[in-house]
Copies of this chain bind each other. A is one copy, B any other.
Amino acid sequence: MKLWGGRFSKDLTTDTEGFTESIEVDSRMVLHDIWGSEAHAIMLAKQQIISIEDLEPIITWLNRAKEDFLTGNFQLKPELEDVHMNVETYLIEGAGREYGGKLHTARSRNDQVLVDARLYIREQLLTTHELLSQLIMTFLNIAREHFRTVMPGYTHTQHAQPITLAFWATAYASMFLRDLERLERAYERVNVNPLGSCALAGTSLPTDRQVTTKLLGFASTQEHALDIISARDFITETLFALSQMMANFSRIAEEIVYWSTYEFHMLTLDDAYALGSSIMPQKKNPCVAELTRGRVGHVYGNLLDMLTTLKGLPMGYNRDLQEDKPPLWAAFDTTQACANILTGTLCTAHFHTDRMAELVSANFSTATELANYLVQERHLAFRECHEIVGDVVGRLVQSDKDFRDLEATHSLLSEHGIDMDIETLTDVLDPISAIERNQSLGGTSPAEVERMEAISRECLQTTDIRRKTAQEDIERARQLTDQITNAVRSKQLDQAQQLIDEL
């Protein structure tokens, strides 16, 4: 019979038990559940809802549960439904119902599961943040080595204008920094204390919710009890942050796949990050990038999953909400693994700078420069310059030539009444000059890219500090709790009382 079974006249079928239990998902939250219970019990004692003497067996047995869990001696049982009932049962069996049965005073599983989830998600967000930071740093390191490595910039996957490899890498850094910011915002959304909302209505017992906020290191106490137990926007917001991050991962993955082709040949993967074929002996496949790209769907699916779950739910806790964890847990696993593998892949990849230089010269990528030159030096309307250069390119293509044939280019320009000396023409059409000249804010000039690289690096350091601060806040709260539980467990109840009074 379940702990909640008073009004029931029958046990669940095995099917029902199997269908409703959440042990696999909950197994990641055992320590968080116990911490939440420690904090709750201390608060009950502080508010004299239970006595300090009641507290002692509760804390002692919670601690044993923790130790047993860490040594593999306390394993969650599916027939006990969830982590909460498993821990409470462990406690009651250990400390007896007269003590263990007091822990669940003034709380419900509805708020308890939110505590557990928020504590766990908090950690996962920090881990994800760190892994993404490393990836961004990888892009910045690539940039540092390649401020003057010229390559074709693409739009529509066609050569557009010359850029540098550093410009390309800093674009990714800049893009991923916004993903980092979204993780931080999700962290703020998650890091609030739901404990004390109880089932949906608060409680008539004289609780003090600020105490658990402090003990669990939450930034603040979420207020409205019904809102607390009904809402899951902190889950969807986190899932969205991860989805957008995966979307961005899929873009770099796509470029790795194509840059590694025989045709592009702009990048060779390290053998440690590429796989072979069971049948074709010559193959070296960019599987790591393909799997990253292939896994974006998992995370999109996780987001849709949770949004679907929320659709049309009335207010109040509904059991549907139990299903908030599987998609989020999965999304963390996927995104963390992808962030990590992309870092390894990019750190070790070899960029073919010669090939890049070859490509940038071969296919009219400085046509815009030529048009801009005519604007500035010949004072023609840009639209006219565009048409002239377009015509020159079109006719060069027809005769299978490109700008490297300066004579032909010069002669075609002359037909439009443009008479540039070859030296100027050479300079205008030179990709290296072109990237130097684009000195507008955010443009390709090495000075500008160096500036942006430095700013991104600085920005990354600032977020590192914020992440470490968050980790320390958690650690500090953990220690505060430990200090009290240690005193209680070692039966120094006076000292414990004093510490509790100071909360």
Residue from the list B286, B294, B363, B370 in contact with A322, Cβ < 8 A:
B294
Residue from the list B100, B280, B304, B385 in contact with A383, Cβ < 8 A:
B100
Residues of chain B within 8 A (CB-CB) of A248 are 233, 310
Q: Is A79 at the interface (CB under 8 A from chain B)? A: no
Residues of chain B within 8 A (CB-CB) of A178 are 189, 231, 233
Contact of A439 with B10 in the complex, beta carbons under 8 Å: no
Contact of A200 with B163 in the complex, beta carbons under 8 Å: yes
- Binary flags per residue of A366-398, CB closer than 8 Å to B gives 1, else 0: 011111100110000111111111111110010
Contact of B237 with A244 in the complex, beta carbons under 8 Å: yes
Query: Whole-angstrom distance from the CB of A444 to the nearest CB of chain B?
Result: 5
Q: Which residue of B has the minimal Cβ distance to A243?
A: B307
Known pairs A154-B315, A288-B20, A291-B20; A4 contacts B276 (CB<8 A): yes
Residues of chain B within 8 A (CB-CB) of A408 are none
Contact of A6 with B381 in the complex, beta carbons under 8 Å: no
Residues of chain B within 8 A (CB-CB) of A207 are 440-441
Contact of A102 with B280 in the complex, beta carbons under 8 Å: no
Q: Is A147 at the interface (CB under 8 A from chain B)? A: no
Chain A interface category by residue count: 35 or more
Q: Which DSSP category, helix, strand, loop or mixed, fits chain A's interface? A: helix
Contact of B311 with A383 in the complex, beta carbons under 8 Å: no
Q: Is A159 at the interface (CB under 8 A from chain B)? A: yes
Query: Whole-angstrom distance from the CB of A363 to the nearest CB of chain B?
Result: 5
Known pairs A251-B313, A383-B92; A6 contacts B284 (CB<8 A): no
Residues of chain B within 8 A (CB-CB) of A100 are 381, 383
Q: Which residue of B has the minimal Cβ distance to A274?
A: B8
**For A270, A284, A371, which residue has the most chain B Cβ atoms within 10 angstroms?**
A284
**Measured between alpha carbons, how far is A448 from B203 in the docked complex, in Å?**
12
Copies in the complex: 4
Query: Whole-angstrom distance from the CB of A503 to the nearest CB of chain B?
Result: 15
Q: Which of A416-465 contact B (CB under 8 A)?
A: 434-435, 437-445, 448, 452, 455
Residue from the list B8, B107, B278, B296 in contact with A4, Cβ < 8 A:
B278
Contact of B201 with A163 in the complex, beta carbons under 8 Å: yes
Contact of A393 with B18 in the complex, beta carbons under 8 Å: no
Q: Is A405 at the interface (CB under 8 A from chain B)? A: no
Contact of A250 with B7 in the complex, beta carbons under 8 Å: no
Contact of A171 with B8 in the complex, beta carbons under 8 Å: no
**Measured between alpha carbons, how far is A21 from B4 in the docked complex, in Å?**
43
Q: Which of A215-235 contact B (CB under 8 A)?
A: 221-231, 233
**Measured between alpha carbons, how far is A489 from B329 in the docked complex, in Å?**
46
Residues of chain B within 8 A (CB-CB) of A157 are 257-258, 260-261, 286, 314, 316, 318
Contact of B279 with A389 in the complex, beta carbons under 8 Å: no
Query: Whole-angstrom distance from the CB of A392 to the nearest CB of chain B?
Result: 8
Contact of B12 with A155 in the complex, beta carbons under 8 Å: no
Closest 4 CB pairs of A and B: A6-B390, A202-B443, A294-B320, A101-B381
Between-chain CB contacts (< 8 Å), 19 pairs: A4-B386, A7-B284, A19-B288, A99-B381, A101-B384, A104-B278, A155-B318, A157-B316, A158-B261, A158-B286, A198-B440, A206-B440, A221-B441, A223-B441, A233-B247, A237-B244, A281-B386, A293-B311, A298-B327
